[in-house]
Amino acid sequence: MKKQTRSRRILTGMLLALACACLSASSPGGSSLPAGGAAAPVEVPAPPPTVALTFDDGPRASTTARLLDELALREVQATFFLVGECIPDNEALIRRMAAEGHQIGVHSYSHIRITGLSKRDFNFEVGQVRTQLSTILGGSSYWLRPPYGITDASVHQWADSPVILWSVDPEDWKEKDPQRIAAQVLGQVQDGDIILFHDIYESSVDAAVQVVDALLQQGASFVTVEQLMQEKGVSPENGAVYRRIP
């Protein structure tokens, strides 16, 4: 009896070790042991990834509208972190974003670094955009992405929402070549990634469409950041920083 328990414990340990190896290779779901339980490598096909596309610095009427058209065509949801200064005259576009299931968040009012600000200035840079969005859409849950991804303890303390950074950055503002940008993303994307784009460039819209089409072919799902957390069982916490989920 004791012997059986011990061998079962060893088998459980082996199973756990295998599961951990699979998890660290970002390919959960592999549960088949090699025949005889030997330590032979097991080919486990990676399950299709679920990722969040995020777009900063808009809205910009021309490029953002075209992006929304392309996303709608493919029934893909994304997350938009908006700059307050760009909101006037784009209210209809923002209503459309919300109506089509995209998540909308705050990227500051004037795209400045929001570290080192007085609380009053921080409240303007972040709070003013929330007020704009509440006026247009109602509601009050607008998560924060700090400009440049620069954040600190004060930002976390005052954010009053989760702080969303990213895990994949193709630097789409640098060289505006859609092929290069898409290849950069496709070469590294994994399940749970948060991908950074800027919807103010035509090249970024083209690159995002290429990424979506390539990953859809692999069976990937595109969800908002909030949905990604829900799917992965992560509860969003105010002031916590998220780069990828989990």
Binding site for Ni ion (CB under 5 A): 56-57, 147
- What is the Cα–Cα distance from 94 to 133, expressed in whole angstroms? 8
| Residue 76 CB neighbours (<10 A) | 22
| Residue 37 CB neighbours (<10 A) | 12
Phi and psi, residue 197, nearest 5°: -130, 170
- CA quadruple 103, 109, 110, 111: dihedral, nearest 10: -40
Nearer to Ni ion, 56 or 199 (CB): 56
Amino acid at 154: S
Indicate which residue of 102, 198, 199, 206 is catalytic: 198
Nearest approach in angstroms of CB 83 to Ni ion is: 7
Nearer to Ni ion, 59 or 147 (CB): 147
If residue 96 lies in a helix (H) or strand (E), which one and from where to where?
A: helix 91-99
User: Which residue number has the CB closest to Ni ion?
Assistant: 56
198 is catalytic: yes
| Residue 218 CB neighbours (<10 A) | 12
Nearest approach in angstroms of CB 37 to Ni ion is: 51
Q: What is the DSSP letter of 56?
A: E
Nearer to Ni ion, 57 or 193 (CB): 57
- What is the Cα–Cα distance from 25 to 23, expressed in whole angstroms? 5
Nearer to Ni ion, 84 or 147 (CB): 147
Nearest approach in angstroms of CB 8 to Ni ion is: 54
69 is catalytic: no
Nearest approach in angstroms of CB 141 to Ni ion is: 21
Indicate which residue of 56, 191, 193, 206 is catalytic: 56
Active site residues: 56, 198
